[in-house]
Amino acid sequence: MARCPRCGKPVVRFQWYEVRRGSRIYRYLRAVHYENGKVRFCHIPKRALSSVIYGVNIGIAEAFKRVLMHYVIPPAKILDVTSGFRIMYEKLLELNAKYNLYDFIFIDVRPEVRPDIAADLRRLPLRTYQFDAIVYDPPYPTHSVPRDNRDYEYGKIASQRELHELFFELTKAVNNLNTYLKPDGILIAKVMDWVYKGKLYSAIEICNKLLTNFELYDIIIYRFFKRSYIRAEPGKRVPRKHSYFLIYKVKK
């Protein structure tokens, strides 16, 4: 059973409630407890989520924790179809060990990263309509390809072209995962723009075009500050400074 992050007591459920102040409406989260046959509420301090998260003092694990907890009310069942080494989940797993807020299922094509299920997201052995959220964090075409062609994020990648094509292929496969979500479930896609053969590809435009079973609900920009560049054309480099958390809802 989930436990309240504030008092540590067992929680019947979490719920949102609204407070009107003047012309504005504020949403807050509270935990519902039963004590001696009476209903008790515990108000959860909730950090407001900005549309831009600055990575100077906020690592990707903390940023993802804020995004997930803002859009997915615990307790909830989360499916990550490209989990990798679960770097984004460091803060969430620490929190989950104490309060059991989420039930995570990690899927990756590589058994060596020790996923819960070793499978290709294009052929998932799961039942439908059981998840509150699906997380999709594909390998980015901005990454360099290992010269020895070793396993790279999603199977054997031998060239930048294959990595470029893989993004389209995996995103098309994610479009068919709408049946794995509950009616009010969401898809969180963490993506990044990239340049291939001198052309800039917009991750948002590509995802919106390929994810036809979903509709874009919100965008959170994660801006990181480090020396990182991608080549746009010979002799020129483009600074790589941000990625996106795209929040999708199933199209009705």
Residues ≥6 apart with Cβ < 8 Å to 151: 110, 112
pLDDT of residue 140: 65
Residue type, 162: E
**Gap between the Cα atoms of 225 and 189, Å rounded:** 21
- What 3-state class would DSSP assign to 95? helix
Compute the average pLDDT of residues 166-194.
93
Q: Which residue has the higher pLDDT, 25 or 231?
A: 25
Compute the average pLDDT of residues 220-225.
83
pLDDT above 70 covers a percentage of the chain that reads 83
Nearest to 187 by CA among 70, 100, 72: 72
Compute the average pLDDT of residues 11-30.
79
pLDDT of residue 168: 93
Residue 147's pLDDT band (boundaries 50, 70, 90)? very low
On the CB side of 93, how many CA atoms lie within 13 Å of its CA?
Answer: 10
Does the pLDDT at position 37 exceed 60?
yes
On the CB side of 15, how many CA atoms lie within 13 Å of its CA?
Answer: 9
Domains of the chain: 1-46 (no CATH), 47-250 (3.40.50.150)
Lowest-confidence region among 112-116, 156-160, 191-195: 156-160
Q: Has this prediction a pTM greater than 0.85?
A: no
Taking only the tens place, the pLDDT of each residue in 84-108 is: 889 999 999 998 998 888 999 999 9
**Gap between the Cα atoms of 116 and 88, Å rounded:** 16
Taking only the tens place, the pLDDT of each residue in 21-36 is: 887 777 777 888 888 8
Residue type, 223: R
Does the pLDDT at position 233 exceed 70?
no
**CA distances from residue 75 to 80, 126, 180 in whole angstroms, order as listed:** 16, 20, 17
pLDDT of residue 225: 62
**Gap between the Cα atoms of 129 and 135, Å rounded:** 15
Does the pLDDT at position 72 exceed 50?
yes
Does the pLDDT at position 145 exceed 80?
no
Residue 176's pLDDT band (boundaries 50, 70, 90)? very high
Which neighbouring-strand residues pair with 243?
222
